[in-house]
DNA sequence: TCTGGGGTCCTAGGACCC
DNA sequence: TCTGGGGTCCTAGGACCC
């Protein structure tokens, strides 16, 4: 047997430690927080448009409801088994997530929020934690649960990949009581041997198939592979995974960086066959994406507009239309971007397609103060003759002011009950009149973020 | 009838430059 | 007979993640 790999472990084991805290069945448990009557009952949460199951409580998992199944396939089953079903309420989940993350920040100086329900902690520069990792792990779990009511699992290991593996074990094996520390070599080997390689962070469906073909089925078998060989077959990403399994840290704690691409897209609740309706939805996506763009102080160099029919339909061919618009000067002005998007749509639009989804992508994103100016464009110069320069400056400033005021008003007044912003661009249309808007028929109240929807105690 | 949405990173290949 | 070599930038596509 090839044992070269284990040498790393001894070298690196003491130098670094990462913890991964992962909320259990996060969306489902957020819903349960405010519904004590659902304690110990099965709950599932659906994706937008009530399309697929995206979260299941532990009871729902036991019933055998699979992650990602289309809701219509399990609807009857849910009815028969008294499963409570919710549309996703992202406003609620985001607020609860923030509470979890804030609690973690009081327990460790270095926290990386990895997703809405997960965070990595870097323990190496926190001596208190390093003294007794298991005790610290249990403390993390207890305090987060006490402060937020959300149950979590804790995994601790020498690298991020090991922390992920530990977390997986903490979730899967009740004997761990939700906290697993991968410190002891024999224990590490044991966990690796009983974990399918497809469960590992960084191994998706494709890689699992190819690894299996090579005779690699468990995490352990991957860990003892020659990293160079893995690189040859799969590239550097999986090579890093392999190294991380041997205690050699390749992935550090990352700080929050501005997004390099911003997407806004959504399926319609019903098919659209009319260009006007499609245009309104596209314009709304542009406005939403542009507002995200401004929030991170960025501008974008080009925008992609796309729309498509359903890829699942059996009696119509799959149609995807898409087109780009390149801005001469990168921009974050919703009105400029809406005009561009409408122009693109006119060019790419195809008649007689039953559109099921549309959206936009913003690309070529950079910070607004790093913009490459266009020598000949108006409204941005800094070396023209003074009169022109003044006019140009005024025009630019006005644009910035208008969007800033729109953002401020929308921030202050929020959305009405139809999810329409307080101030919006006319070409977005009136949402109340748009029958194709996302359907969310089983939405819970925004218990923590809307004054009119606070839970009541009787 | 009914199948989510939003991201990241890496790689290969083409265009272009000197 | 014999048609370079090295570099950058951009893009599309493929893989992964939650």
Co-location of A251 and A270 in the same domain = no
Residue A273: which residues within 8 A CB-CB, separation 6 or more? Answer: A352, A353, A354, A355
Å: A291 CA to B15 C1': 35
Å: A238 CA to B11 C1': 14
The pLDDT score that the predictor gives to residue A372 is 63
* Cβ contact A356 with chain B strand, < 7 A: yes
The three-state secondary structure class of A122 is strand
At CB < 8 A and 24+ separation, what contacts does A202-208 make?
Answer: A202/A161, A202/A237, A202/A238, A202/A240, A202/A241, A203/A238, A203/A241, A207/A234, A207/A238
Co-location of A177 and A111 in the same domain = yes
Q: Is the pLDDT of residue A147 over 60?
A: yes
Would you say residue A455 lies in a domain? no
Would you say residue A443 lies in a domain? no
Q: Would you give the distance in Å from CA A212 to the centre of its chain?
A: 29
Co-location of A125 and A240 in the same domain = yes
For chain A, the domain total comes to 2
Co-location of A295 and A354 in the same domain = yes
Would you say residue A446 lies in a domain? no
Q: Which of residues 78-117 of A touch strand C (CB under 7 A)?
A: 114-117
Last residue of a domain, one of A413, A432, A449: A413
* Cβ contact A372 with chain C strand, < 7 A: no
Co-location of A199 and A275 in the same domain = no
Contact (Cβ atoms closer than 8 angstroms) between residue A164 and residue A191: no
The CATH number of the domain holding residue A364 is 3.30.1490.100
Would you say residue A301 lies in a domain? yes
Co-location of A43 and A145 in the same domain = yes
Helix (H) or strand (E) holding A141, with range, is: helix A133-148
Helix (H) or strand (E) holding A43, with range, is: strand A43-46
Co-location of A93 and A163 in the same domain = yes
CA-to-CA distance for A93 and A73, rounded, in angstroms? 25
* Cβ contact A458 with chain C strand, < 7 A: no
Co-location of A232 and A118 in the same domain = yes
Q: Is the pLDDT of residue A399 over 90?
A: no
Contact (Cβ atoms closer than 8 angstroms) between residue A70 and residue A51: yes
Sole residue written with tokens 């923590």: A448
Last residue of a domain, one of A396, A413, A430: A413
* Cβ contact A439 with chain B strand, < 7 A: no
Would you say residue A418 lies in a domain? no
* Cβ contact A450 with chain B strand, < 7 A: no
Co-location of A251 and A320 in the same domain = no
Co-location of A278 and A346 in the same domain = yes
The boundaries of the domain holding residue A69 are 1-256
Q: How confident is the model at residue A418 (pLDDT cuts 50, 70, 90)?
A: confident
Last residue of a domain, one of A256, A282, A305: A256
Sole residue written with tokens 């489902």: A28
Question: From the C1' of B3, which residue's alpha carbon is nearest?
Answer: A70
* Cβ contact A264 with chain B strand, < 7 A: yes
Torsion sign across C-alpha atoms A128, A130, A135, A137 = positive
Would you say residue A436 lies in a domain? no
From the list A204, A206, A129, A211, the residue with the least C-alpha distance to A163 is A129
The CATH number of the domain holding residue A251 is 3.30.70.270
Count CA within 13 A, CB hemisphere, residue A136.
Answer: 24
Nearest nucleic acid nucleotide to A210, CA to C1' distance: C15
CA-to-CA distance for A261 and A362, rounded, in angstroms? 6
Co-location of A83 and A216 in the same domain = yes
Which of A46-50, A212-216, A252-256, A289-293 bottoms out in mean pLDDT, i.e. has the lowest? Answer: A252-256
Å: A262 CA to B17 C1': 32
Across the range A332-361, mean pLDDT stands at: 94
Would you say residue A447 lies in a domain? no
pLDDT tens readout for residues A34-77: 999 999 999 999 999 999 999 999 999 999 999 999 999 999 99
Co-location of A200 and A320 in the same domain = no
Which of A249-258, A269-278, A448-457 bottoms out in mean pLDDT, i.e. has the lowest? Answer: A448-457
Protein-proximal nucleotides of chain B (any atom < 7 Å from a CB): 1-11
The pLDDT score that the predictor gives to residue A169 is 98
Would you say residue A437 lies in a domain? no
Nearest nucleic acid nucleotide to A54, CA to C1' distance: B4
pLDDT tens readout for residues A225-273: 999 999 999 999 999 999 999 999 999 999 888 999 999 999 999 999 9
* Cβ contact A262 with chain B strand, < 7 A: yes
């Amino acid at each position: 047997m090839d044992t070269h790999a284990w040498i790393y472990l001894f070298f690196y084991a003491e130098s670094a430690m990462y913890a991964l805290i992962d909320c259990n069945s996060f969306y489902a448990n957020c819903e349960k927080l405010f519904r004590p009557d659902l304690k110990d009952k099965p709950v599932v949460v659906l994706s937008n448009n009530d399309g697929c199951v995206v979260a299941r409580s532990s009871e729902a998992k036991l019933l055998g409801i699979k992650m990602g199944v289309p809701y219509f396939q399990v609807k009857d089953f849910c009815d028969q088994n008294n499963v409570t079903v919710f549309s996703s309420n992202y406003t609620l989940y985001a607020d609860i997530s923030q509470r979890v993350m804030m609690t973690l920040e009081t327990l460790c100086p270095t926290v990386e929020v990895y997703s809405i329900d997960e965070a990595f902690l870097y323990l190496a520069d926190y001596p208190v934690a390093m003294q007794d990792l298991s005790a610290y792990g249990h403390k993390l779990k207890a305090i987060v649960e006490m402060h937020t009511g959300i149950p979590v699992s804790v995994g601790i290991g020498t690298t991020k990949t090991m922390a992920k593996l530990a977390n997986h074990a903490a979730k899967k094996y009740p004997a761990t009581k939700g906290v697993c520390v991968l410190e002891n070599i024999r224990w590490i080997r044991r966990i690796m041997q009983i974990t399918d390689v497809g469960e590992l962070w960084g191994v998706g469906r494709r890689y699992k198939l190819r690894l299996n073909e090579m005779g690699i089925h468990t995490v352990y078998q991957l860990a003892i592979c020659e990293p160079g060989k893995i690189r040859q077959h799969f590239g550097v990403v999986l090579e890093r995974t392999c190294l991380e399994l041997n205690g050699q840290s390749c992935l550090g704690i990352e700080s929050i960086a501005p997004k390099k691409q911003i997407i806004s897209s959504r399926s319609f609740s019903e098919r659209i066959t009319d260009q006007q309706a499609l245009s309104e939805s596209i314009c709304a996506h542009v406005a939403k994406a542009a507002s995200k763009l401004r929030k991170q102080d960025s501008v974008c160099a080009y925008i992609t507009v796309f729309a498509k029919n359903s890829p699942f339909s059996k009696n119509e061919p799959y149609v995807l239309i898409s087109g780009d618009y390149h801005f001469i000067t990168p921009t974050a002005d919703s009105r400029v971007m809406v005009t561009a998007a409408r122009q693109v749509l006119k060019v790419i639009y195809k008649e007689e397609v039953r559109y099921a989804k549309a959206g936009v992508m913003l690309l070529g994103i950079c910070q607004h103060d790093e913009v490459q100016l266009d020598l000949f464009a108006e409204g941005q110069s800094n070396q023209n003759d003074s009169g022109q320069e003044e006019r140009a400056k005024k025009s630019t400033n006005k644009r910035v002011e208008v969007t800033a005021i729109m953002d401020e008003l929308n921030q202050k007044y929020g959305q009405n009950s139809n999810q329409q912003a307080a101030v919006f661009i006319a070409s977005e249309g009136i949402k109340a009149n748009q029958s194709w808007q996302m359907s969310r028929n089983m939405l819970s109240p925004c218990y923590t973020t809307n004054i009119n929807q606070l839970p009541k105690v009787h």
